[in-house]
Each structure stands twice: as structure tokens, then as C-alpha cells.
């Protein structure tokens, strides 16, 4: 039996009428991969500072996330505790090893903290996003020990911290942040773009929240 890979490449090249050795074609491909040109960037996200924060929050809320802004990282634990209390949720949270999270003054609250990935028995999780996209109200999460991927999906309530200075206008700008953090062509195992809480319209064509992922998504924007 012949090799499937070789057959498929041969078929593609026969259909396209190419050999695969054309220098110009190889150059075009290498150039596009190296430059990664941006295409059409919608105007909507191209706003700065306060306007960008406002756009991000409005877009996230339009897809049923809730948001709150705090002045500094020191205010985050209290904001988390308030959110849980206001929603009658138990005062327990799970988080990863992200230093930006662990350095916060959690001791000032009565919250019970657990660390590491979720085994499915956690109600509430707190994660720190790499950045967030104003155009669509989207959080950008990267996998790793800092923010385990299971925290994005298993707990019922997901609370995500975003620094206002990490807000970007569009997805292309988010990729720049990923490349700065990991290097061009290098990727964390997973990049999760999250836009609102989990939902499904598969029963009776009606959109219902809380399908398999979190039933609620709360975003805390840190301004300082």
C-alpha cells in the first residue's frame, strides 16, 4: 500500500498543477507566515483609555457577563468577596499559581482559598487573563500553572481579573501580546478566548445560559 501522506500531497500538486519546488510559491508562503499581515481591523475597537474600558465592559455585558471596575489590585479580594456574597455563593475560591493573584491581600477577606487545577468539585474559580479585547468583550486566557485551563470550564462561577492596561482593541493586538509573552510561532498549550458565560440554543431554539461551562462570568477590571 502506498503512503497516504505522499498520495495526498501528490493529488494536491497534480490538481494545482504545481511541483511544490517553485521558489516563488515557497517565498510567498514563508513571507506570509513570517510577516503575519493584519487584514481589515474594525474601527469599533480603536479607542483608548477610558473609552476602551467602557467599550470592553459594554460588549462583555451585552453577552451576559457582569463587570465591575476597581481602582487597584488591593481592591480585588474584597470585590470577589462582595460578588460571592451578593449572589449567595459560598465563600470559597480556587485559583492557579499566578503571582498577580497570589500577591493580592486575600487575608483581608474571609474567603477560603484553594490552589491548582479543578477536579470538578469547585463552585467558584478566579483567573487572571493575559489581556482582553474591547471590540467584542472577549477575555484572553493562556494555559499553564498560573491559570489552569480547567478553571475556565469546570466551576459554576468564573471570576476573571483584567488589568485595564492589558485591554486591547482587537484580536490581532491580542496575538501581539501572546507573541511578546511566548515568542513568535511559540504558543501556550491553549489560548482560550472567552466571550460571556456558556450557553446553548439546542433545545427549542432558545438561548439558555450555563450549558457545560460556567453559568456565570464576572469580570473585575483593575484600573490602577
Partner 1 sequence: MTAHATSPQFKANATRALADPNLQAALLKMRTGFIDRRAAAVDRLPEFDALRDSARDIKNHTLAHLDLYLEEYERNVRAAGGQVHFARDAEEARRIVLDLCRRYDAKTAAKGKSMISEEIGLNQAMEAAGVAPVETDLGEYIIQLRNEPPSHIIAPAVHINPEQVEADFRRVHTHLDPARDLHEPTQLLTEARQVLRRKYFEADIGITGANFLIAETGSSVIVTNEGNGDLSQTLPKAHIVLASIEKLVPTLEDASQILRVLARSATGQEMSVYTTVSTGPRRQSDPDGPGAYHVVLLDNGRSAMLGTQFQDMLRCIRCGACMNHCPVYHAVGGHAYGWVYPGPMGAVLTPSLIGVDKGGQLPNASTFCGRCESVCPMKIPLPKMMRHWREREFERHLTPAAVRYGLGLWSFFARRPALYRLATRAAMGTLSLAGRARGRFRWLPLAGGWTKYRDFPAPQGDTFQARWRKERGGRA
Q: Name which of residues 17 to 46 contact partner 1 (CB under 8 A).
A: 17-18, 20, 25-26, 28-29, 32-33, 36-44
- One residue of 149, 160, 167, 220 binding partner 1 per CB under 8 A: 149
- One residue of 67, 124, 129, 138 binding partner 1 per CB under 8 A: 138
Under the binding rule (CB under 8 A), the answer on residue 114 touching partner 1 is no
- One residue of 90, 105, 210, 224 binding partner 1 per CB under 8 A: 210
Q: How far apart are CA 67 and CA 55, in angstroms?
A: 12
Q: Are 96 and 159 in contact (CB under 8 A)?
A: no
Under the binding rule (CB under 8 A), the answer on residue 189 touching partner 1 is yes
Q: How far apart are CA 35 and CA 41, in angstroms?
A: 16
- One residue of 132, 134, 213, 218 binding partner 1 per CB under 8 A: 213
Please count the other Cβ atoms lying within 10 Å of the Cβ belonging to residue 138. 24
Three cell numbers written together for 67: 463587570
Which residues contact residue 158 at a Cβ distance below 8 angstroms, ignoring those fewer than 6 apart?
Answer: 124, 125, 127, 151, 152, 197, 213, 214, 216, 217, 218
Smallest distance, partner 1 to C-beta of residue 42, A: 5
Of 67-75, 122-130, 161-169, 185-193, the window that binds partner 1 (rule: CB under 8 A) is 185-193
β-pair partners for 217: 158
Under the binding rule (CB under 8 A), the answer on residue 152 touching partner 1 is yes
Smallest distance, partner 1 to C-beta of residue 101, A: 14
Amino acid at each position: 500500500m502506498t503512503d497516504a501522506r505522499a498520495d495526498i500531497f501528490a493529488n494536491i500538486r497534480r490538481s494545482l498543477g504545481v511541483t511544490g519546488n517553485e521558489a516563488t510559491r515557497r517565498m510567498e508562503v514563508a513571507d506570509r507566515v513570517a510577516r503575519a499581515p493584519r487584514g481589515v481591523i474594525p474601527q469599533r475597537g480603536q479607542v483608548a483609555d477610558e473609552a476602551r474600558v467602557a467599550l470592553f465592559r459594554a460588549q462583555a455585558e451585552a453577552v451576559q457577563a457582569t463587570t465591575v471596575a476597581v481602582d487597584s489590585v488591593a481592591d480585588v479580594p474584597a470585590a470577589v468577596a462582595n460578588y460571592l456574597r451578593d449572589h449567595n455563593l459560598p465563600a470559597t475560591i480556587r485559583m492557579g499559581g499566578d503571582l498577580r493573584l497570589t500577591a493580592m491581600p486575600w487575608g483581608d477577606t474571609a474567603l477560603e482559598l484553594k490552589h491548582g487545577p479543578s477536579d470538578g468539585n469547585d463552585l467558584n474559580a478566579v483567573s487572571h487573563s493575559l489581556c482582553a479585547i474591547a471590540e467584542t468583550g472577549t477575555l484572553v486566557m493562556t494555559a499553564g500553572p498560573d491559570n489552569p485551563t480547567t478553571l475556565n470550564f469546570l466551576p459554576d462561577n468564573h471570576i476573571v481579573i483584567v488589568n485595564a492596561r492589558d485591554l486591547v482593541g482587537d484580536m490581532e493586538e491580542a496575538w501581539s501580546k501572546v507573541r511578546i509573552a511566548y515568542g513568535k510561532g511559540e504558543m501556550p498549550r491553549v489560548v482560550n478566548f472567552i466571550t460571556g458565560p456558556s450557553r446553548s440554543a439546542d433545545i427549542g431554539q432558545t438561548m439558555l445560559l450555563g450549558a457545560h461551562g460556567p453559568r456565570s462570568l464576572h469580570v473585575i477590571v483593575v484600573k490602577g
